[in-house]
Amino acid sequence: MKKAVQARRAPARPSREAASELKFDLEEFGRIENFLEYEDDSESLQEQFQLALLIGQEAAPYENADEIFGDLVEALDQTRVDANSGDPDARRELKSVQRLLDQSIQSGAVPPPLLIIFGKLFAGAGVDIGETARAAIRAAVKAGILPAGADFYRIFIASLFSEGLDDPFAFHEVVRQTIAIFPIEEQIAVVTGLTEDERPAPRRTAVGFLLDPEDALALAAIKSLGKARGRLDEPSRRRIELIRPLLARGRGEAIAAAFGPPAAEGLGPLSTAPVKIVKAWASIRDGAGVSTLFVRFKRASRFAIASIMVKPEGVADALLHEDLSRADAERMESMLKSVTASFEIRLETWVRMLRRSLGRNLATNNPPSFSFIDVMEALQLGAIAPDVSTLAEIIEALLAEIPDRDDPERIGRAHDEIAISEEFESWFEADEEIDEKLQAAKSRSAAAALVLKSYLPARRDFWAAQCAFSALAVKDSTTPRNALWTNLALVSRDIAGSTPLESIPLMRQIARRSAEAYFAQK
């Protein structure tokens, strides 16, 4: 979602008049939903969640609802990040909260309005709310407690689009979070309602659902937008063309059927002021396979930072920080570079790396977020065609530029240098599966041997990709690091091939660090 220096007003919640037809206390719903002021808190995630649950009880005070829910959404998001980074305590905390929510739903302690808000909150934090919560919402819809179909759109969504507010990327995120807990039928009804709405803002918002992770919802969006194509404005049509090459085959065929082939003249010029790319950067991958592509650019006298988060499955998210002074932009740039080793690269290299990342999105049928289109519009790069090169093809292309790629001495030196390189100290394995495998290990050495022999063989492609994509970030940097990228490429070839893992120093290091991480948290 776009991040502005100046605070943006949040889209309004459904009006009381529209919502008054619902069969629950709207005063309660209104108090619960006003939770968007974030503040830090030292309480545990479970304690914060228990406080939020109290708000749903009849006698609970509501004076601090904003802080309670704000703290909870922030804590959920941070705990998710920690869990994904291998923190076992964070994984346990998330499970504990989900278990507490399930028990509260089953005991009848979570009324529908509170459950809707929890659904929105969990979706915003990127945490799965679980099947118990979704089943409760389905039951409420079926029983008529919550509206369905066109009524669902009219009551819950239509009034979000206040006069004078028109940020389709922000609106899409709010709508996506709001409907995430509801059955797919109601989600489709919302997309249909968006496209049939007479106002341009809802139709612009509907375009974002072309990139929804759920194929059924994305195909419904394509069908509905196709029917409304004559009423789509120029920004919506342009965004559809930016999205078109990013869609996997099924969605791509549906787009062609609904909108015809791409316009021969391509995308028309933007009406906004031209931008100047100042610097482009790419980071190596961290231990979870996450990397960042970011640029500093200038429009008129102000600066902006666009950052794109890339995961092994492709482009995952994008952020746009606008209206910055030069000093603010440079500080933000320094912060991004400090997270993971990053390298300044030419814009054409940056675009090439982005195309390869988008190729992963296609290969995994995992579309990028709608916020990515926001960044592409801001950068004025036009439609970008994904590069669907396989890992083997990427490694082969890298090796083709290394004259001594088959020299045993050179290969051995590459392995030794990568294994001791400080850039890759965060590379290790940490998740529930590996924790289960290591429960029987009596020592760190035994655990490392178990990881190397029983776990890492199935992870060859992941770690080969870690090396290959990190090599791409280094290879064409403005400050050459030839030894580093060539070392990475050579090591990548051996990991992807048939070389025994126990003879690859980096893999032994990964196994050792994984064992140490496991025993450190026991």
Domain that holds residue 433: 392-520
- 7 class by beta-carbon count within 10 Å (0-12 exposed, 13-18 middle, 19+ buried): exposed
Contacts 24+ apart (CB under 8 A), 304-309: 304/275, 304/329, 304/378, 305/329, 305/332, 305/333, 305/336, 306/375, 306/378, 306/379, 307/336, 308/354, 308/357, 308/372, 308/375
Structural domain includes residue 260: no
**Residue 202 identity (one-letter amino acid):** P
Q: Let me know whether 319 and 413 are in one domain.
A: no
Both 133 and 60 in a single domain? yes
Structure-model confidence comparison of residues 521 and 365, the more confident one? 365
Answer whether residue 40 shows pLDDT above 50: no
Same domain, 47 and 74: yes
Quick one: pLDDT at residue 36?
A: 35
CB 419 within 8 A of CB 505: yes
Tell whether 372 and 417 lie within a shared domain: no
Model confidence at 89: pLDDT above 80: yes
Say what the pLDDT of residue 266 is: 64
**Same domain, yes or no: 373 and 406:** no
Residue 356 domain flag: yes
User: Is 192 a residue whose pLDDT tops 70?
Assistant: yes
- The residue with greater pLDDT, 61 or 484, is 484
Residue 207 lies in a domain: no
Lowest mean pLDDT across 96-100, 370-374, 478-482: 478-482
Mean pLDDT over 85-89 rounds to 82
pLDDT digits (tens, 9 = 90+) for 395-431: 999 999 999 999 999 999 999 999 999 999 999 998 8
Alpha carbon 53 to its chain's center: 27
Pick from 170-184, 320-334, 476-490: least confident: 476-490
Average pLDDT over residues 373-384: 93
Whether 408 maps to a domain, the answer reads yes
Q: How many domains does the chain have?
A: 3
Q: What residues contact residue 210 under an 8 Å CB cut-off, 6+ apart?
A: 218, 221, 222, 225, 240, 243, 247, 251, 255
Q: Is the pLDDT of residue 100 over 90?
A: yes
349 in the same domain as 446: no
Checking if the pLDDT of 273 tops 90, the result is: no
Q: Per-residue confidence at 18, pLDDT binned at 50, 70, 90?
A: very low
Question: Does any domain span residue 323?
Answer: yes
* 225 falls within a domain: no
For 288-326, how does the pLDDT look when each residue is reduced to its tens digit (9 = 90+)? 999 999 999 999 899 999 999 999 999 999 999 999 999
Boundary (domain end) residue, out of 357, 379, 401: 379
pTM of the predicted protein model = 0.86
Token pair in block for residue 421: 């390189």
Question: Do residues 142 and 48 both lie within one domain?
Answer: yes
Domain boundary among 125, 146, 167: 146
512 and 422 within one domain: yes
Please give the pLDDT value at position 491: 98
Same domain for 451 and 371? no
In a domain, 304, yes or no: yes
The pLDDT value recorded for residue 193 is 96
Map residue 277 onto helix, strand or coil.
strand
Tell whether 134 is covered by a domain.
Answer: yes
Higher-confidence position of 272 and 142? 142
> Are residues 373 and 405 part of one domain?
no
Whole-number mean pLDDT of the chain?
87
511 and 413 in one domain? yes
Q: Say which amino acid occupies 400.
A: A
Final residue of a structural domain among 379, 406, 426 = 379
Both 128 and 80 in one domain: the answer is: yes
